[in-house]
Amino acid sequence: MITYDKLFIGGQWVAPSSTAVHELTSASTEEPIGSVPQARQADIDRAVAAARQAFDDPSGWAHWEPARRTDAIEQLAHQLEIRADEMARRVSSQNGMPISIATQLEGGWPLIVLRYYANLLREASFESEQQHLMGGTTIVRREPIGVVAGIAPWNYPQTLASFKHAPALAAGCSIVLKPAPETLLDSFLFAEAVAATDIPPGVINIVPGGRDAGAYLVGHAGVDKVAFTGSTAAGRQIAETCGRLLRPVTFELGGKSAAIILDDADLDLATVGERLFESLLVNNGQTCYLSTRILAPKNRYDEVIDTLAAFVTSLPVGDALDPSTMIGPMVSCAHRERVERFIEKGKGDGARVVVGGTRSSRSRGWFVEPTLFADVDNASTIAQQEIFGPVLSVIRYRDADEAVRIANDSAYGLGGTVWTADPERGKEVARRIRTGTIGINRYMPDPGAPYGGVKDSGIGRELGPDSLNAYLTYKSIYA
């Protein structure tokens, strides 16, 4: 059991305002693995006040020379690197992410993102001078936007938190992070890493809580910007609040991406199996950008079904902490039941179960057998709604034009893939898809390029230099 009895606010471990706690449970065994305090409104008030004080300090973080901030951000990356194995283990235990994946992503990606923004900051210019078109000169300054509310989900808790805190820190902002209640032990390990750096007290604060805590933080008068990753439904609620408050937001929301398998695609699993896994089922299907709608040409439809059936059944299902596991459990009992309702809906709507379709026979843990549906209508529930589990739907198409039409026939637009032996042909098809990101014969986000969605998948972008700009505000000085 890992137990914390204090909150990380203002650079210190402080007593919470109540005795309420979050109990953390292993997704693989259903056994208790830890507990942390719940942050109440009074704790959030303290965290926002600490962030505001740190930001307003005339000699504080926002006013440090970029090189000095760079050094502190690199210190944080180093402290997280020291804790990377333990971070991966904590995340894997809580949300069911296979440890082999957690080691690469939750242990590794935050380091990459922090170091990217440290390097970007090292070369950044925050003030320029230009000719005033009406005479004289204009100085254009980019200044930190202020106090940021960063809300991260449970599926990639540290990676997606880094998408927010890394550019915010580089910009000179202070931040209040609210992690998801399903994954909190990792956020306290992150706090320990922060405490071991030169980052000033109050620049990073952590308030563990549920939806009520998130809603209170989003609407707090001391917050200047919100960065949120989560469901589209929650994003709409946050957008209503921020719209009323005229508060800038960055949203990365849901997805129902398409994998377009062109008629010349290489389907040899020895060649493409690993890339298929990363694109279709990584993290047990609990990933927003996955290409869970698979569009197959009619002249290769049966071949695609057979290949995917062999692929899905080849993936070892087991305890998330077992290094051989490729498919672990769902994050919670409630989420497993949600995934199962979608599977039953798919059966009821006439789709054909090729593989899976049932709960795992394991006596403990929130497992769902990886499921492959064939003969799916793109208008059906399982093709239109985000399931967020190991469920794939195969949809037949006649030609590339119809494949593009089907891919775009979705309320979402976050990810996607095109599979082809001709990368140039794949790029041409990719350009026609209404989505924020898309891969050719693979899918792997680039920390140096914008990441985000269109339509119901979000507003704004994370990663890349554009994300740094999202935490800056512009000031023109006419001279």
**Catalytic annotation, pick one of 242, 288, 369, 462:** 288
Query: Pick the catalytic residue: 252, 340, 369, 462?
Result: 252
Structure tokens at 220: 């707090």
Q: Give the DSSP H or E segment for 228.
A: strand 225-229
Active site includes 274? no
CB 8 within 8 Å of CB 205: yes
- Using CA atoms, how far apart are residues 195 and 122, in angstroms rounded to an integer? 23
Strands 458-459 and 249-252, bridge-based pairing: antiparallel
| b (16+ CB within 10 A) / e for 263-290 | eebebeeeebbebbbbbbbbbbbbbbbb
Instruction: Tell me whether residue 74 is one of the annotated catalytic residues.
Output: no
Number of Cβ atoms within 10 Å of the Cβ of 376: 21
DSSP 61: G
Report strand pairing: 391-397 vs 417-419: unpaired
Pair 469, 140: CB distance under 8 Å:
no
458 strand-pairing partners: 252
Query: CA geometry: angle at 34 spanning 31 and 38, to 5°?
Result: 125
Q: Which residues are catalytic?
A: 252, 288
